[in-house]
Chain A
């Protein structure tokens, strides 16, 4: 009964390094999302996917890339990390876009020094 699983849970990067965050869901959901959460701000959408092989930009996409090669996985990449990308990243999934609830992972706390 895993739901949405994010890997890793914590990471410290140096400025300029790259990394990939993995999100896996076992609910056969079509839609997946990446959000970031910063102190004093609501969660903001980075990128989302409406199905395998598709991705789209959200509110704050700059500096990030995503891929959805398999329906159950949604990857978020940082090619050259910057201190401004220090944040908590959340992945979510939903069965449909508009009628069903979204389920969230436990988050990845990323610090860029």
Chain B
């Protein structure tokens, strides 16, 4: 069974900082990996999808990297803003489902 770990569990940074969120997974036989954002009491919003053959994917201030062989992905957020405050979830896709970690709770302080 795929196990997903996200470090750190919580992060608080001042506005404007660049930051890195880490995701590790135990089964490297993934098809793709998706990063999501979840606001309190809300659903999941897709941020980036990285196919297993890709190393990197970018969307605006977000950049996600994938090292499938070592079971790691990172989400880089540039010039953080208070509106980035949310929980970030990574979900590697293995077999017939996405597996989720418990996320990193991010607070960006104005």
Listed in ascending order, the chain A residues whose CB lies under 8 Å from chain B are: 4, 33, 35, 40-45, 48, 50, 56, 58-59, 90, 92, 97-107
Contact = CB atoms under 8 A, between A and B. Distances in A.
Contact of B100 (A42, A48, A56): A42
A50 B96 CA distance: 9
B101 A42 contact: yes
Chain B binding surface SS class: strand
Given A40-B102, A45-B97, A107 B46 contact: no
A58 B42 CA distance: 23
Interface residues of B, number: 25
B68 interface: no
A87 to B, nearest CB: 14
A106 B45 CA distance: 9
Contacts of B109: none
Contact of A90 (B44, B49, B101, B102): B44
A33 B97 contact: yes
25 contacts: A4-B43, A33-B98, A35-B100, A42-B4, A42-B89, A42-B99, A42-B100, A42-B103, A43-B89, A43-B98, A44-B100, A45-B97, A48-B96, A59-B1, A59-B97, A90-B43, A90-B44, A92-B44, A101-B46, A102-B34, A103-B46, A105-B43, A106-B42, A107-B42, A107-B43
